Amino acid sequence: MSRYFTQDHEWIDVDGETGTVGISDYAQGQLGDIVFVEVPEDGKKLTKGDDAAVVESVKAASDVYSPVSGTVIEGNPALADDPALVNSDPEGEGWFYKITLSDPSELEALMDESAYEAFVAKL
């Protein structure tokens, strides 16, 4: 499985044609305590850069953008009952949605883990 990051602090784990999307540890740290998450509906078609989800914290509400184009196959049902999962495990159990990639070549424009760490270090 390969993990990629966007400059907007989304991550995507890719396994074959399926990607799992969430926000980075850095992003959840900037947001503070997460109080609500809205994930996309199953079957929703997304284009790279589209607003895919919404995350609300005690500080602000933020859009989560789709790092790739494709069709949503599953939103994370656990976030409805426990949005704080995004704080406790942002790059694991706090994932937002799974998507079938329609154009895997879009991954080439994303950062790998070491490039993302270097990007965050400059912020």
Which CATH number goes with the domain that contains 49? 2.40.50.100
Residue 119 counted as domain residue: no
State residue 102's pLDDT score.
98
State residue 78's pLDDT score.
98
Residue 10 counted as domain residue: yes
Confidence of residue 1 (pLDDT cuts 50, 70, 90): confident
Residue 123 counted as domain residue: no
Instruction: Quick: pLDDT tens for 76-117.
Output: 999 999 999 999 999 999 999 999 999 999 999 999 999 999
* pTM, entire model: 0.97
State residue 72's pLDDT score.
98
99 CB burial (10 A radius; 0-12, 13-18, 19+) = buried
Structure tokens at 19: 């990607």
Structure tokens at 22: 């969430």
Confidence of residue 14 (pLDDT cuts 50, 70, 90): very high
CA–CA gap between residue 5 and residue 108 (Å, rounded): 11
Amino acid (one-letter) located at 13 = D
Total domains in the chain come to 1
Residue 35 counted as domain residue: yes
Q: Residue 61 is part of which domain span?
A: 2-104
The pLDDT mean for the chain works out to 97
Proportion of the chain in helix, strand, coil states, percent, rounded to 5: 25, 40, 35
Instruction: Quick: pLDDT tens for 43-58.
Output: 999 999 999 999 999 9
Residue 57 counted as domain residue: yes
CA–CA gap between residue 7 and residue 48 (Å, rounded): 13
